[in-house]
Amino acid sequence: MSQWLAPQHVRSMDIVRRHDRRLGWQAIERTPWHLPISASTEMERFLDQRANIKFCVAQGKSQAETLQTLRTVYGDQTIGKTQCRQWFLQFKEGDLTTPIKDRHRPGRPRSVHCPDKIQEVQAAVNEDTRVTIPQLSRRLQISTGSVHKILHQDLKKTKRAAKFIPRILTAEQKETRVRICEQNIAEFEHNPAFIRSIITGDESSFCIFQPETKDMSRQWVDHGAPRPKKAIRHTTKKSTMLIAFFDIDGWIHHEFVPQGVRVTSEYYAQCLGCLREKIRKKRPKMWADDSYRILHDNASVHTAGHTVTRMMESNMQEVAHAPYSPDLAPCDFWLFPQIKRDLKGRVFRTVKEVQAAVVAIIDKLEPDDFFTAFDRLILRWRKCVAAKGEYFEGDNIDPHPQPAEEQPETDV
């Protein structure tokens, strides 16, 4: 195939150079405006030569004589030998009434991408939401590319893995979550100091060894290098329990449960006594007017009789918290996950080493980290309301949904 080139030093001339694989570089004439031949002009040239082939056939000329006549008239713009032969035989074996234009071609059939196939894909997905694209391709006898196009472009489908949640909530539990979140939001909007009066706390265990996640084991290697390998390891049973309390300004109290001691309501009640003493030292104003409120989850040790009695005796007020709502507790959605993430993959020989590592992580937390945690708590209250009580972790939930516009009433 030839390639047209217009060198810089000949653009204003009527002579340009053409490169042909057989003939090499040649100087030929071009139109004065030096523009490439358009598709319509190219087709007109082909039709003109086909008409001349038809005329030569009518005169009884041979194929070689016809090609030589075309080259004499059109020169380097003559159609190829093979194309000339095809049209010569078509006119000779057929009749001279054969049109010189190409027959209309319907193109690739579009029977695959049609409403019937789209409905079949829709029905198959509705029947089994976990069906794969190769399975649909084999079942419906269409290509995987067509299935992919129908799913993503026509049906607007996307495949997402299920997420783990603490439990399947009942309608009543969802309503409770929404009601309590709306109550806390209303109190915060009425009194912004409400969020500064909250002291949140909980307990969690930390193992001597907890394997790192797959994403944490990623490392940079050279292109083509073998994939890094590591042995499968399991979490050890030996662990230590941490009880921690903090507010928007920082730490107030944390302690480790002695080895062999269970966290019961009696033990937790004693821990609340230590917490009150720390409040007196670190937050004297809150202790003086009893303006602080405790936010903890609904675990049995937090709602047992000894705990309730101790809180009433100490004049401790609670912040409403819905059952089965770790996503609304700062310890569960921020503090403990961050500590455990920093401990993953680290091997400790004794419980004291684990405790020292936990304390080191705690000491590195900045005041802004605590402020951000409570700011996220307010945001999560709003998301819970927008999600109608469902667990919203990982979902694209707008915490400030726009109210639906009321349609104006029209007279019938």
In this structure, the number of other CB atoms found within 10 A of the CB of residue 337 comes to 12
Residues 61 and 137 grouped into a single domain: no
Residue 271 and residue 339 share a domain:
yes
Instruction: Check whether residue 130 and residue 206 sit in a common domain.
Output: no
Residue 317 forms part of a structural domain = yes
Q: What is the pLDDT of residue 390?
A: 94
Mean pLDDT throughout 221-226?
84
Q: DSSP letters along 374-394, please?
A: HHHHHHHHHHHHHTTTS--TT
Is 192 in the same domain as 341? Answer: yes
- Domain identity same for 134 and 183: no
Q: Which residue in 165, 133, 139 sits closest to 152, CA to CA?
A: 133
**Do 175 and 148 fall into the same domain?**
no
**How confident is the model over 62-83, as a mean pLDDT?**
84
The answer to whether residue 405 sits within a structural domain is: no
Picking from 73, 42, 35, the residue whose alpha carbon sits closest to that of residue 56 is 73
* Region of poorest pLDDT, from 138-147, 324-333, 383-392: 138-147
Residue 412 is assigned to a structural domain of this protein: no
Looking at the chain, the whole-number percentage of residues with pLDDT higher than 70 is 83
H or E stretch including 362? Answer: helix 351-363
Together in a domain, 128 and 190: no
In a shared domain, residues 178 and 146 = no
Task: Indicate if 87 and 177 belong to the same structural domain.
Answer: no
122 and 24 within one domain: no
Confidence of residue 203 (pLDDT cuts 50, 70, 90): very high
Domain limits at 86?
A: 3-93
| pLDDT averaged over every residue in the chain | 82
Report whether pLDDT(412) > 60: no
Q: How many CA atoms lie within 13 A of 248 on its CB side?
A: 17
**What is the per-residue DSSP string for 199-213?**
EEEEEEEEES--PPP
pTM: 0.65
Give CA separation, 33 vs 7, 12, 25, 64, in Å: 14, 8, 21, 35
In a domain, 209, yes or no: yes
Model confidence at 282: pLDDT above 90:
yes
What domain count does the chain have?
A: 3
Instruction: Summarize pLDDT for 1-11 with one digit per residue, the tens.
Output: 333 333 333 33
- Minimum mean pLDDT range among 21-25, 221-225, 248-252, 327-331: 21-25
Alpha carbon distances (Å) from 102 to 75, 81, 83, 87, 266: 24, 18, 13, 11, 94
pLDDT at 131: 92
Question: Which one is predicted more confidently, 352 or 3?
Answer: 352
Q: Is residue 265 part of a domain?
A: yes
pLDDT above 60 (res 21): no
If asked whether residues 128 and 43 sit together in one domain, one would say: no
**60 and 180 share a domain?**
no
What CATH number corresponds to the domain at position 75?
Answer: 1.10.10
